[in-house]
Structure 1
Amino acid sequence: MDSGKQNMALREGFLVKRGHLVHNWKARWFVLMPDKLLYYKYEGGKRDSCQRGGILLKDCVMTSPFLEHENRPLVFKLHTKNGVDHFLEACSREERDDWAGDITAAVGKLQTSEGVTAPKQPDPAGSQFHNIDLSKVLDSMYDVHSGINMSIHVEQGNTYSNCFSGSAVVDWLVFMQLTLTRVEAMTLASALLEEGFLRTVGLKSVEAVRTAGLGEQFLDDSTALYSFSDSLKKRGSVKAEASRSAVELSGKVIKRGYLLKQGHRRKNWKLRLFVLRSEPAYLHYYDPTKDDISPAGGFSLRSCLVSSLHDNGVPSGVKGNIQGNLFKIITQSDIHYFMQAPTHQQKTDWIDAIRQQT
């Protein structure tokens, strides 16, 4: 591989990384190179020029999804040749799968370039899936320690307890190696549904059962809800969200992603996970270093004004180091929010998505 290709970034973006010595979670800017994964610290709004660390990809093993961190379903694990585990969290399932796929491809190319054949994936048709005992799968899902987590979900203003999303089930089946692929996991989950081990909760999953063909009734979707047929056998539900009304969080998720947000009091820049919902239209933000499910803040998008800010010079109301790709949201109550997106394209995408909801 020539040096030009070796120095070419394959992918860049924010991920949240767990520390090795102190097991806290910190946001870092990651750059995937053909042979290594580099990460940098963000100070204020600027990427620290000094590299914080790097992970050599040769002979690494990827586990995605990695579901052993409760309340962090978007983690994947990278196990290095030297036996070190790196736990990284993305902002969405799509981002997690894209990062995992790109890293796995880079590892495979390194093996191929050295004359090592990448390990062949087992043939799904010949896997253990066809001989699976559905009642044993159900027992594993019920398991208090390693089973699937149940919680409260809101769909179209209705609150449902003791349930889980379709994509959480698919993640769990792949992670537990009961299936090899997400498609296979959907087929297995459909079988659990057809046999009456699982039941639909809410309109979206009910509609899928009514309209889909046999074996395709289960949705790999974070807004399609399911539960055990006998939910009393499972441990109790989590506490309902107290600080935010259920209505606020009941809308359909339109967009998720990491943005830098300026604080209102200290005017410092911090990375936040933003979630855009519609019907009702709200923008919530979360602290990605914490594993709680409560938003750190949020506001209604009704009558909001969103505008792009120029990167040349520092606009009024903005302080600190500016990376660029700035935009501003003014709420109906005249509160000004300043955000920075990682790229110009992401800024444009966020502005367009928010404008459609105002």
Structure 2
Amino acid sequence: METKKNTTLREGFLVKRGHLVHNWKPRWFVLVPDKLLYYKYDGGKRDSCQRGKILLKDCEITSPFLDYENRPLVIKLRTKNGVDHFLEACSREERDDWAGDISAATEKLRGAEGVKGPDLQTATTTGPQLHDINLIKVLESMYDVHSGIKMGSHLDHGSLYSNCFSGSAVVDWLVFSQLALTRVEALTLASALQEESFLWPVGLKSVEALRTAGLTEHFMDDSTALYSFSDSLKKRGSVKAETSMSAVELSGKVIKRGYLLKQGHRRKNWKVRLFVLRSEPAYLHYYDPTKDDISPVGGFSLRACLVSSLGDNGVPSGVKGNIQGNLFKIITQEDTHYFIQAPTEQQKMDWIEAIRQHT
């Protein structure tokens, strides 16, 4: 799967929105100094035919881009011709790394022309300074039904909280709305909103952070720390904690996320899935990145699972098609066999090690 070009700066799976039909499809992206190339996957292999390219000269980058309610990890690229490209990463860390590397490449291209200026929207010099911000206006903007922060249901230690949002979502929204220039500034602004009781902690993690942290650092830029609007706002819905047995397996701490290829059980075809490894309880779930549904399409308990690396000498038994390289297998306690392919040998070993630690 790995490109042989020496100029490769970064490569991996991203989910791309189509131009004519606005569906989302996983593609293999390769970042080189002056462009971003992407390829289709077919049968667990990268298609040798290049599917498209995004020229980086004078390209504008927006990250985070929060217009898609169920896709908070999107990067928006606008080429010098005004064509928009929307790319979704598997995690906040991956999103920020891709955005940083693409921004660095565009900066280098600009520097070669002797022109200076930021490309990444999170580093722009436009926007208000923190001391000029009216907290009431910020709160009103956050609360707006159409353009405000999106509220939803979130799990925390087996309890399902409705009409709330994560700390990282607040920071993302403040940066995206240009109410803060950086994540550090957004964190300070969010802490100020919490100090005024405009935002309240919800769930164990954010409540504990408020109890133990310093006065200026108690708000958490964390996707697992939950917050809600103050009750005095008579918000759009009430925050309720509902314990659900089906929600328990999704309540564990996220240990690892990433795009992997999985062989289907019936048709035996290979598809890209977003895998999420959780602990306490230990589960491995997988999601269809082409769908907006936030529920997993499958998953299983890691209790008593066996995970093993498959050799690269020929097609292993149980694998359909000429699929070779970076394969591993998981056998569940119910004797269900899962065949999975990682993008690289190192990622395969990382996943095997992480899964073994929770079996």
Residue type at the aligned position of 1:204: K
Counterpart position of 2:108? 109
What is the 5 A alignment of 1:146-157? 146-157=147-158
Residue 203 of structure 1, CA deviation:
1.2
Q: Deviations over 1:326-356 (max 9, x none)?
A: 0000000000000000111111111111111
Check if 1:204 corresponds to 2:205: yes
Is residue 311 of structure 1 aligned with residue 309 of structure 2?
A: no
Alpha-carbon contact 1:252-1:277 (below 8 Å) kept: yes
In the other structure, the counterpart of 2:160 is 159
Corresponding residue for 1:249? 250
Answering whether residue 267 of structure 2 is matched by residue 266 of structure 1, we say yes
The residue aligned with 2:98 is 99
1:223–1:229 Cα change, 3 Å: same
Tell me if structure 1 keeps the 8 A contact 2:326–2:348. yes
Paired letter, 2:75:
F
The 2-side partners of 1:287 and 1:330 are apart by 21
Q: Following TM superposition, by how much is the alpha carbon of 1:122 offset from its aligned partner in structure 2, in angstroms?
A: 5.8
* Conserved? CA contact 2:70–2:293, under 8 Å: yes
8 Å contact kept, 2:160–2:244: no
CA distance, structure 2, for counterparts of residue 172 and residue 251 of structure 1: 25
Give the deviation of 1:241 after TM superposition. Answer: 11
CA contact (8 A) 1:15 1:88 kept: yes
1:48 is paired with a residue whose SS is strand
- Could you say which residue in structure 2 is the equivalent of 1:23? 22
Which structure 2 residues correspond to residues 118-267 of structure 1 after superposition, within 5 A? Answer: 118-119=117-118, 127-230=128-231, 233-236=234-237, 245-267=246-268
- Give the alignment of 1:37-48 within 5 angstroms: 37-48=36-47
What is the aligned partner in structure 1 of residue 51 from structure 2?
A: 52
For residues 240 and 225 of structure 1, the distance between their equivalents in structure 2, rounded to whole angstroms, comes to 12
Q: Is the 8 A contact 2:167 2:226 kept in 1?
A: yes
CA distance in 2, matches of 1:164, 1:222: 9
For residue 127 of structure 1, report the CA deviation from its aligned partner. 4.4
Secondary structure at the aligned position of 1:96 is classed as: helix
1:11 counterpart residue number = 10
Per the alignment, residue 68 of structure 2 pairs with 69
Structure 1-normalised TM-score? 0.94
Q: Secondary structure at the match of 1:245?
A: helix
Query: TM-score scaled by structure 2?
Result: 0.94
Residues 79 and 64 (structure 1 numbering): CA distance in 2 closer, same or farther, change over 3 Å?
Answer: same
Q: Is the 8 A contact 1:241 1:294 kept in 2?
A: no
Is the Cα–Cα contact under 8 Å of residues 279 and 358 in structure 2 kept in the other structure? yes
CA distance in 1, matches of 2:52, 2:172: 29
| Residue pair 1:260, 1:340 contacting (<8 A) in 2 also | yes
Shift in alpha-carbon separation, 1:118–1:226, aligned structure 2, 3 A: same
> How far off is 1:195 after superposition?
0.5
* Structural mapping, 1:293-308, within 5 Å: 293-308=294-309
Contact 1:47 1:323 in 2 (8 A): no
Q: Give, in whole Å, the separation in 2 of the partners of 1:45 and 1:237.
A: 45
**Could you say what the CA RMSD is over the residues aligned between the two structures, in angstroms?**
2.2
Contact 1:152 1:237 in 2 (8 A): no
Q: Which runs of 5+ in 2 are unaligned?
A: none
The structural deviation recorded for 1:236 is: 3.9
* Cα shift at 1:211: 2.0
Structure 2 Cα separation of the partners of residues 308 and 56 of structure 1: 38
Distance 1:42 1:238, change over 3 A: farther
Tell me whether 1:281 sits opposite 2:275 in the alignment.
Answer: no
Residue 172 of structure 1 deviates from its aligned partner by 0.6
SS in 2 for 1:104: helix
Q: C-alpha distance in 1, partners of 2:242/2:103?
A: 37
CA shift, 1:135, in A, is 1.0
State the Cα distance separating 1:197 from its structure 2 match.
0.1
Offset at 1:151? 1.2
Relative distance call for 1:357 and 1:7 in structure 2 (3 A) is closer
One-letter code aligned to 2:154: H
Tell me what 2:349 maps to. Answer: 348
- SS at 1:65's partner residue? strand
| Alignment-mate amino acid for residue 169 of structure 2 | A
Distance in structure 2 (CA, Å) of the matches to 1:206 and 1:243: 21
Shift, 1:118, TM fit: 2.8
Residue 222 of structure 1 aligns to a residue whose secondary structure is coil
- C-alpha separation in 2, matches of 1:306 and 1:224: 31
Cα pair 1:198 1:228 within 8 Å, conserved: yes
SS at match of 2:65: coil
Cα shift at 1:176: 0.5
CA distance in 2, matches of 1:39, 1:209: 44
Change (3 A) 1:305 1:7: closer
Amino acid at match of 1:64: S
